Structure 1
Amino acid sequence: MSRRHSNRDASPLLVFATAAYTANCALGASVAARLIDTSRFRWLHHALYIVTCTTVAAAVALGWARGPRTSGRRAALALLPAAAPLAAIPYLGSHGRRHPLVALAVAPFIVAGLVVSRLPADRK
């Protein structure tokens, strides 16, 4: 495996974390807009939240393990601040404006992690 390709090993995990986060936000917005009734499968939103938190943590750990001056390390640093709003969500309640605002605060960090993971690594 070439060095150029090996620096992108965390990218599939970042893509999976992004997909889980997007699905969770879409489900939450659909429930808030009363387009979907999840009263019989409320666990789905919680399961997507757990998958999102797990994949974000794994992407940060894997990216950090790639070593200094790699796109994986930079992506991990860009994604790391997402841990704060993800950790706060369960304690803020779900019946107010705070829940969706804090959930949306994760988006810039996920996008930044994806963008940075696709940039070429330093060649120094």
Structure 2
Amino acid sequence: MIRHRCPRSAAPLFAAAAGAYAANCALGASVAARIIDTSGFRWMHHALYIATCATSAAAVVTGLVSPAPAARNAALLLMPAAVPLTVIARVGARTRRHPLIALGAAPFLLAAVIRSRRPDRK
């Protein structure tokens, strides 16, 4: 018999997704402002993007299977962030649309983090 253990809290996954997203935005903005030159390690931006997508997906799945209503609600709030995170992969990095599309995920990540940290009402 396989027993599945429910995590005590999904909040750390939502925080990790938001942290990876924030780090990726900070790196992208620094490169765009020519503060940082990533010509030697361009893979870093891609690695942070993959980390953002992976932790966001893990947070959604964990939140949806969690018995806690706050985690389920946070997962539902985070799900729309998949749209800009998917579209951004198809938009050129040197276009004006790239940062605007990337910022489209911010409200969903922020709302999910806030909701995941709020205690459930009984």
TM-score normalised to structure 1 length: 0.89
Look up the match of 1:85. 84
What letter is aligned with 2:78? Answer: L
Look up the match of 1:105. 104
TM-score normalised to structure 2 length: 0.90
Name the SS of the counterpart of 1:38 in structure 2: coil
Instruction: Please give the alpha-carbon distance, in whole angstroms, between the structure 1 residues aligned to 2:84 and 2:58.
Output: 17
Q: Which runs of 5+ in 2 are unaligned?
A: 1-5
Instruction: Please give the alpha-carbon distance, in whole angstroms, between the structure 1 residues aligned to 2:121 and 2:81.
Output: 24
How many residues are paired up? 117
Are 2:51 and 1:45 aligned? no
Are 2:78 and 1:70 aligned? no
Look up the match of 1:3. none
Q: Which moved more, 1:24-33 or 1:89-98?
A: 89-98
What letter is aligned with 2:111? Answer: A
Shift of 1:58: 0.4
What letter is aligned with 2:19? Answer: A
Look up the match of 2:3. none
The alignment's C-alpha RMSD in Å is 1.5
Shift of 1:95: 1.1
Deviations 1:31-50 (A, max 9, x none): 00000100110000000000
What letter is aligned with 1:99? Answer: H
Instruction: Please give the alpha-carbon distance, in whole angstroms, between the structure 1 residues aligned to 2:42 and 2:20.
Output: 16
Q: Structure 1 residues 79, 85: closer, same or farther in 2, change over 3 A?
A: same
Instruction: Please give the alpha-carbon distance, in whole angstroms, between the structure 2 residues aligned to 1:63 and 1:12.
Output: 11
Look up the match of 1:21. 21
